[in-house]
Chains A and B, each alone.
Chain A
């Protein structure tokens, strides 16, 4: 902040000045500056909807700016699209992965940069090169498989390695770590450090504060589309960064810590009981009980079968063994619709592909869950308005306009709309698969306390998250998964993060060794 404009621009690789972008009805950015230097990792921080992704899209030419200038390597630039930006050495991984799901992994990584020999594409060499790029990120997989057949985490890593195929001077990563596990994040960080040492400027968006402090050198903070400031990371503490982002202090999460110790009455009938239910090739038969008012966490590494367990429980996948009981009675659970009819609500992991309906409004997206249950009979206007404004207020959805198309909301706000959709159906069991992915610190606390509050009032919840702290804080019991198998169950009062990590890694391994 103490630097003058002159000093800031002198060695800057990217200098964005006075950027203003107006969408109909929202000023997404108002006179924002951003400076990136070669050889630095720069964090861009802010709440959901603060304008981070918009600023990035202004840099890459995806959006035209209404005011302001952009200089790359000292030269004033107006990009008319990502291709222009790439030419100028700016490579970007957007928040919502946009790759071609039906092309192979290798084709996606190398698209536009295929290895050619005598004018023809040499596919063997191309795939070999792709394998190399992926290995830099610690990813070993068959590059000839279709991208769509892999998890979002893998897709995200593919998007990142795609951005690194071009020898970029500036690498922009919008929430690259939101679906990665610890190991993968470390791999990515290693690559980022390597790029930094080679003089590349890396712009990095995340909602994980610890990652910011671990890897970045500087940090630009936005709030409500305005610049708060540009700080060296050493001058900030986590608490200070949060208050810069939110414009207020964050209420203590300590109030929540009681949640995991709350006694749950397990003497009655469980709300839902899985008895040896599983599906070949997806998840081995498992037993899981969820009692009234209980929060059951599911922990495990990525690809360990957490999501698959949830999907079987919700009817999104049809179990081919065992049975599932709801309130003590065995039920048919072959489609998500069956689950919903039995009061089981499932909020899926992949927000964009399986959650939101981009061309419908916030209100329509919220009401859809109820509407689907009622069939043709339209939810009355007054009922709809009441519900929608209740949830917009309760979850702090912004902009608080129910008639905005949901695709124009920031990622975190989309997630809140999905949560509202399911809460509005008043389920008996709510299954949340990564509900806080991409959500800012403030909203994360809001969602966690909402879950704690609802479960205290008797709602049963299955809570899946890669963030073990979160799972431990909210749930009374934790089901641990590994390699598509349930390997055990822990009471959260009896363990901590390290204990849980240890359990995930080693439980049941001794016998095999």
Chain B
């Protein structure tokens, strides 16, 4: 039991389960899953489906944060990639043509990658602070997206494109498979190769890593490129969901959700060791929270306040110092701050 409690995923998972429990108690239908035409429906399935864009963005954000950085531009990058893809489809006039779709999707992803490479260039090569460097694109990106859509909200009608966010495969939403694939690919690249540990090294101590021969520049650049690419894909999912490229609304504030998901998952904003599994749990936590808010009918005006209050609570529960403090208040024996002495989690 003790070993389980010391696992770095213990508290994130407890928080997620608690949130699901609260929802279930207040509305038993929350956990019910119905089958219709061989497809699963229910709140939990919605969470799996709707969390896909955030999942992609948060995975990229994890890598960036591990290098001691931050990527504020992900929401704007989503707007750009959606705009690129939909404009190509609309201009082609043949929204069902598979090769047009392939070009559109490829171009959207490339646009995301290009944005990531630009961020990485500013940060890894020019040495600009990540928060400033990505702020540039955060502010400019939506303008670029508007230029691409010529100032309009581009809408299309294409069933195959719609499938990405709204289709089903073997009973489950296609978007969920996209999440799974992204998690698997990132985990394999980071943990099956040495890239993960080299990334952590750079995040923990850039100078020591450089002297140890780690190619820090390439690793940092790569993290932003990955973040851009993943945000690009998230932008495609978003546009597929609403079948429109809305430069102002696409991925709005998603950078904040992504950063939160990473932190809830137990990865420190100070960089260094990161947990992909933790980020996955964090993403589901945030998505569940959003669905709770919708269900409770919290008025839109106070939603941010509600969200903030819950987040503060969650972060406190996860803080070992806070738990010790509460323990001491309760008059119980205080537990020594068990800083992790060994690494419990290495695999994602």
Contacts and interface: CB of A to CB of B under 8 A. Distances in A.
Interface of A: 22-25, 64, 66, 316, 335-337, 340, 346, 348, 353-361, 364, 368-369, 371-379, 401, 403-405, 408, 421
B204 A360 contact: yes
Contacts of A355: 208, 211
Interface of B: 192-195, 197-198, 200-201, 204-205, 207-215, 272-273, 334, 336, 338-343
A284 B336 CA distance: 53
Nearest to B337: A64
A358 B271 CA distance: 12
Contact of B194 (A24, A340, A359, A377): A377
Given A64-B336, A404-B342, A377 B193 contact: yes
Contact of B208 (A353, A371, A408): A353
A24 B338 contact: yes
Contacts of A360: 197, 200-201, 204, 273, 343
Contacts of B210: 335-337
A408 B215 CA distance: 27
B194 A378 contact: yes
A355 B201 CA distance: 11
Contact of B213 (A66, A336, A403, A405): A336
Contacts of B272: 359
B341 A368 contact: no
A357 B209 contact: yes
B198 A405 contact: no
Given A64-B334, A379-B194, 14 more contacts: A23-B336, A336-B211, A336-B212, A336-B213, A337-B215, A358-B204, A359-B200, A360-B201, A361-B342, A371-B194, A371-B198, A372-B213, A403-B343, A421-B212
Contacts of A340: 213
Contacts of A364: 197
A403 B194 contact: no
Contacts of B207: 353-354
Contact of B192 (A337, A346, A354, A378): A378
Contact of A374 (B192, B194, B339): B194
A371 B197 contact: yes
Contact of B336 (A66, A369, A374, A376): A66
A357 B204 contact: yes
Nearest to A348: B211
Contacts of A66: 336
Nearest to B214: A372
Nearest to B336: A64
A369 B201 CA distance: 11
A24 B198 contact: no
A404 B213 CA distance: 23
Contacts of B204: 357-360
A66 B333 CA distance: 11
Given A316-B211, A378-B194, A403-B342, A22 B336 contact: yes
B212 A372 contact: yes
A378 B214 contact: no
Sorted nearest first, the 4 A-B pairs with minimum C-beta distance are: A372-B213, A340-B213, A376-B193, A378-B194
Contacts of A404: 341-342
A376 B194 CA distance: 5
18 contacts: A23-B341, A25-B341, A66-B336, A336-B210, A337-B215, A353-B205, A353-B207, A354-B211, A356-B208, A357-B205, A360-B204, A368-B209, A369-B212, A371-B194, A376-B198, A378-B194, A379-B194, A404-B341
Contacts of A24: 338, 341
A33 to B, nearest CB: 21
B201 A357 contact: yes
Contacts of A337: 210, 213, 215
Contacts of B341: 23-25, 404-405, 408
A119 to B, nearest CB: 33
A364 B211 CA distance: 15
A167 B322 CA distance: 34
A373 B213 contact: yes
Contacts of A22: 336
Contacts of B215: 337, 372, 375
A368 B339 CA distance: 23
A374 B214 CA distance: 10
Nearest to B211: A336
A361 B210 CA distance: 18
A346 B212 CA distance: 8
B220 to A, nearest CB: 15
Contacts of B195: 376
A332 to B, nearest CB: 15
B64 to A, nearest CB: 17
Given A23-B341, A64-B336, A372-B198, A358 B212 contact: no
